Amino acid sequence: MLRDKEHDQVEVYDITNYPLQRCLTVPNCRRLADMTSSEHYLSIYVADPVVNCIHRLDSQGEAATQWPVNDIPWTLSVNTAHNLLVTCGLVHKIKEFSSHGDLLREITLPDDVINPNHAIQLTSGQFVVCHGRVGDPVHRVCMITADGRQIVHSHGGQKGSSTGQCYYPRHLAVDSSECVLVADSNNHRVKLLSSTLTYIRDVVTRDLLKWEPCRLCLDKQSHRLYVTDNEWKDDRWIGGRVVVFRPTISAVNE
């Protein structure tokens, strides 16, 4: 779990009964926006949108490095090639880096994908991208070709609360069947979409959350969905928790 503070920002918990195991410090950080990990490299990546860099820790926190993104990094994911994907919303780009910070390529997204919030690359090479923030008229989840040029499928449109709409789709997760989970933040729910982005159902409903779902992490082996549930008040985040939904994830692959 990632906390935006001066030290001990990464808290490591046991997944069985959730006791705190240890804390890791991200040195020289200014602000923390997102975190992901690579099982292949046993590495943790953290996005810093103030310094505009990525911090990399090993899984024990004993080695730390950082590299520049040269744009504001917002969210992170790791693809099947074990490379890091950095979503840079203001420039409509996904940047792909090696585990040690070599820039491999930049994917420019279509012009109508305004304010991309998070991107995940599928095994086909295509990308699933959610976009739209509070003041934007269009809030969607899009499947985009591997070169970033064309939208293949989409879900959403004008912001709203119906099953076919989103209101600030903030974060994504993809299951083993490449169905898509969407943190539909301002609708206080997590939606399940098919591999072609057709609405299936809400897997986490408003009554199961206190505040807004902001980040998702799906453990495919244990069939657990971890949802950060955060409270926004007076233009700042004032509280939060992680909620674990195991029975719901068992139903995702039915």
235 CB contacts (<8 Å, ≥6 apart)?
none
Handedness of CA 244, 202, 221, 78 (dihedral sign): negative
3-state helix, strand, coil in the chain (%, to 5): 5, 50, 45
pLDDT at 15: 82
- Which pLDDT score is estimated for 222? 80
In this prediction, residue 251 carries a pLDDT of: 41
Q: How would you class 11 by CB atoms within 10 Å of its CB: exposed for 0-12, middle for 13-18, buried for 19 or more? A: middle
* Domains of the chain: residue spans and CATH: 1-100 (2.40.10.500)
Task: Determine phi and psi for 90, rounding to 5 degrees.
Answer: -65, -25
Burial class (CB in 10 A: 0-12, 13-18, 19+), 6: exposed
Would you write out the chain's pLDDT as a tens digit for each of its 254 residues?
Answer: 888 777 778 888 888 788 888 889 898 888 899 999 999 999 999 999 999 999 999 877 677 899 999 999 999 999 999 999 999 999 999 999 999 999 999 999 999 999 999 999 999 999 999 999 988 999 999 999 999 999 999 999 999 999 999 999 999 999 988 999 999 999 999 999 999 999 999 999 999 999 999 999 998 888 889 999 998 887 777 788 888 887 444 444 43
Query: For the sheet containing 53-58, what is the strand order?
Result: 34-38, 43-48, 53-58, 64-68
Q: Which SS3 state, helix, strand or coil, does residue 238 take?
A: strand
The pLDDT, as a whole number, for residue 176 is: 86
Rounding to the nearest 10 degrees, give the CA dihedral for residues 235, 163, 121, 38. 60
166: which residues sit within 8 A by CB, 6+ positions away? Answer: 130, 132, 139, 140, 141, 155, 156, 159, 160, 182, 184, 187, 191
